[in-house]
Structure 1
Amino acid sequence: MSVHKHTATLLIITSDASDAERLIGALREDGIATQSVTVPHAERLAEIIAQRGCDLILCCSYQREVDLDSVLAAHRKLIGDIPLILIEESEQHAANLAKIRRSAVRDLIRRHDHDHLKLAVAREFAELLRRREAAGLNQRLRLCEQRDRELIAVTSAGVSFVQDGLHLDANPAYLALFGYPDLDELQAIPFLDLFVPEYQKKIRELLRGGDATALNEPVELTVICRRHDASQFNARLLAAPAEIDHEPCLRLLVHPLDAPALVTPIAISAEPEISTAAPAPVAVNAEMSAPGLSQLLAEITGHLNAEHRIERPFAIFYLQLKDGTQLLRDLGLTLGLEQRDAYAAQLSTLVAAEHGFCARVTDDGFVVLVDDVNELEAKALAERLLTTARLPHRAGTQPDDATADFDMGYYLVRDRAGAAEDIVNAAYRLCVGRESVPTAPAATPAGDSEAEIARRVERALAQDHFKLVYQPIISLMGDDQENYSVLVRLIDEHEPPLEARDFVGPATRAGLIEQVDRWTIRSAIQVIGEQRRAGQRISLFISLAEDTFRNPSIVLWICDCLREFDVRGNWLTFQFQEEVVTNNLASLNKLMETLKKIKCRVALHRFGLLAHPERLLQNLPLDYVLLKSTFAQGLANDPAKQQRLVALATMAHEFNVKTIVTGVEDAQSLTVLWTAGVDYVQGNFLQRPSPTLDITSGGR
């Protein structure tokens, strides 16, 4: 229990000892102060306070011998918390009022006003005691936290601290439990990646406060965890609120359970033999589809290095049973499930002959991975998968029925890929026919061979022949931020200049686009630093190619550039093409969250292409969406387009996302855009791309 002083010890600055006695006498009557120290000036103020343990300072500034400026200067140099109260003549009260307001003086009292003096000293002493008590409690808290850390470090339970989906700290037992050699490697991955996909929704809700809204007591979950080597184990997870460095976070305790984890990929074995008789039970866990997906994701991850480059090229096939519900209706539940299991056994045997990997990821869905095949080999394997592995013949069907029982989508994975989830999702979309993968880069301009353009890009990177140009993004809502879209030009005095659309395709296919993006990012950040130091409120929008954002190290490189040029992340917006987002949704979500942590903004370009754009707004932490330029073409005379524009703008605002319409080419469109609630516009009518950062009015 804290022991408080009941009365204050005063330091009185006065040249008249009798004045000091009158002051302390008035305070002693009410038991406010009983001890005092008197000094004639402010010299050695800190030393006297330390020696005598003074709590407050009273300064008789009305005395000619007391230099008020010296007292204020000496008080500012004090390290401790010592309140200063001035006593002044009535006629000087107003004259010194402005001066003391700029200082740390706690009160100004007229001479002989003992009632005010008593109130001021009692108030300041009580507040001083409360501050000292709070400081003592903070010190005790820090000691408790230190002892807590020491206990956590030696406990056998896995303990970590998580904030915004990333690890802040973890004890050795936690690192050993998940198989990570050190904290740095653990901090490089999202916390969600420590759990198999079917449990990630619950973990995400926990991180967002969905399961711990009040946080009055720990939240407990039973989960399946995933180690660094992709092996799994069952665990009980306890989450409770905590603080690290005065920042709120979650403290997590992970207790492994004795029961084995549920992992059930299809066994890759040459047995049992395929039988044309009635299906017999097979060693396939038909119910547990999610662990099969977990094993599949682990298998894909094993093909990727730290930079998401493909170390072992492979083909991925997604097979989906046609009319699976109708099959169960025709045959009944038990026989229908037996047919599916028999097919799983056939597929397992067939894939084993190809030395591949097979997993059952849903009741009706299967994924096959085969290494080192070219396009012709992949096509031939796809035909064998569809024609050789078949459901047992249904009643009334002919054995030679040429109609496949399954739909299939497949493609080759090489060079660099997104997250494992993105690869599976892309194969699934190909199977169900929702989109093609991959998206083709821009075409090569006529008159130049692709190889020649690639050589020009390579030469420009070596000789710094690239140049930035800027197009302003103008606010329709009165925002005074100077936003510009950054574009790149390839300038060579011996060759005609190339715009980005001319060289992006060849650069991408030649594996050079990431180097171009890095040159653009670093140059743009340098420009931001120069303009900000010159007093301009500039903010730049930069597009990232797919190869660039698939590299997990890109954010660290961006951080290095921000530090190099002393630039804040919120002066930079990175934008991504909507066409490639759906094939990289999992990895892009992680990347955007990481960019937001360094305060950068993120935008989605060519928004509105998909049938359900709200899904992207729901799943990505966006700041802006840039609507495709066709929205601005003929907008004033197209009611249907206006209605669609209003719907998209309203939808974006519901998710607190600002809208930008590009390709504005006429004045009539501006009125419609403003009425629709669009936040920003960009286009040649407002200003063409320019190598300078001056905004001009009107088109050119």
Structure 2
Amino acid sequence: MEEKKKINIFIIDDSFNNEENIVKLMRSSGYAAHTTRIEDDEDLIEALRKKTPDILLYSNGMELISLQDTVQCLEEHASEPVPVLAVNRPGHELDVIEAMRTGARDLTSYDNPSHLEMVMHREIQAHSSIAKLFKLEIAIKETEKRCEALLDSSRDAIAYIHEGMHVYSNHSYLTLFGFDESEDLEGMPILDMVGSDDRDGFKTFLRDNCKSGSCDSDKLKLSLSKSNGTEFKGEMEFSPASIEGEPCIQVIIRTQSDNKDLEKQLAMMSQTDSITGLFNRQYFLDTIEDSASKAKEGKITAAALLIHLDNFDDIKQSVGVVAADQFLNEISRQFEESVAGDDVLAHFEGNTYSIIAFNQTAETIEEYANKISKASRDFIANIKTQSLNTTCTIGVSLLDKNTPDTGEILLRAERAVEEAGKQGPNTVIVYQPKEGELTQKEIDAKVVTDLKLALKNNRFILNFQPVISLHGDTDERYEVFVRMLDTDGNIIMPNDFLPAADRTGMSIAIDRWVLLTTITTLTKCWKEGKRTLFFVKLAANSLKDTSLMSWLKEQLKKYNVPKNSLIFEVKESVAVTSLKYTAELAKSLQELNCGFALDDFGTGSNPFELLKHIPADYLKLERSFMEELSTSTENQEAVKAITEKAMELNKLTIAQCVQDATSLSVLWGMGINFIQGNFLQEPSPDLDYDFSSMAG
């Protein structure tokens, strides 16, 4: 059955009967009418504060508000134009000319319901078309502005050519050819940018392939000439474009160094932490794996250190997320001065740093670790009129001929730093294996067995948490969470099994189960007439699963999954350390009509750099931005900056972990698209949230 079209109607009338008749009339016409009855100007102003109607019916002869007052009130208080129909009723007839001169679109009558229905249909359709046109005009203007901004900020050298002359050139184009201002190039022939030996060939190419603002052949390799006469090799790419309504040709210059620079940039991003500028977690893990192999062969001795800043949460709450990141950046410089030249210092995560210290043994490492501890203890950062300092606790795992595998090295360091934290600030613990202690490898082997049995016996379940629009979108969006049941049916939370699943590779199998169950649930929802969308997290291991996309394509086709109803989430930190795999995944998902979201977004110094390589649809803000949001000006400024930039790039934003109603109103004012959090509803096995409660 076709879903009824929704329509909001204001009726200025003192009779309930007329309101009921309008609802019945519109229902028979295929509309689900929501009516608001109004008797005076105060009622009308109050109703307009809540929503703008699709149409307003004015019953002639109202004593408390005239047709002229109604039209004037709409002009002053409605957010957009509203079509008004004057309706005659017995004893209160108005002339059609008089009604239209007053501001009504037409005059009809309750005594002639067929005419009333036809006039309402006409005005509703006309109003809908005008509203769409208005939105399209705004969208075109915004798109043109974004295109201009993107062109100006693009690293590609781009120019627009009309009849062989430059009419526009961006900053990269000017820099490439050695010019200071775009005015220096306006009216200059593009032929002047071509090397002397290639000019005849270039003229022939333009004559044969680029006519009237179109290009049949789009690339040409040739020598190019700078303003000082220096020549270099490059490639021109041509495509049709327009500027100020006039047809022209867009030219992009690519030099031989472009690809090398891009590869270098990608490599740097994949191993650098965006907050501190140090190596990141993935680089540290890769290095520790290589170092462990060398240690087993007796080539080196080393130590892996985990350094926890003791009161970082207090600092973050005191000065906000952005200033806390600045503190991390400044203390990183202190740690850099304390490590030896060949040692690897990395920002592991959050308040934790890591070091691989070479040429260290059980006898020397404590002195080394105490030096790091002193650097933290003695450092004071002056940020936003506050003097901030911290202490640290350090856990150490040794690498020698008897070293275990990489996972065990890291877990030993984590156990040591946890023990150090129990003993208090400035404590250093060097991990010493206990007699008969199981290695992590042995523990993980048991975990793998448990996870396989849970999959086999269907002891996983899904929970769902609503992702709610702040701007009236009533599509039913949920984030999907996985839970495991023990053999007695008790719930095991993700933190108690997913880390082990990640270490052992079992996260790939769990992701497949989650995806398949999500797809079948989604299909059921749509068959029931619900426009449901699901956000599904992917583990880091699944990014490198070469068979995932082909499997997913088969399932989407098999279950006839609606387009854009599945959105996949990857954490920003994972995307940075697996940039190539994440970029490939996001592009493949586009081809399958699935969405992509970057989770925990916005903690780096320039998080939007990531979007140059990864086509994300949604940006889910890092949860720490929501801490004390209603009172933290720093967090508010950070959220506002991210939201404004996201709007420019046409990305949708989600605020997760929203804590209270005050935060909700702050987020709405900033233009956040969606909100999520236990304050609204905790994850639940049921898909029962009333999304219409947030509709305007």
Per the TM superposition, whether the score is higher than 0.5 is: no
- Larger-gyration structure (1/2): 1
Structure scoring higher RCO (CA < 8 A, sep ≥ 6) equals: 2
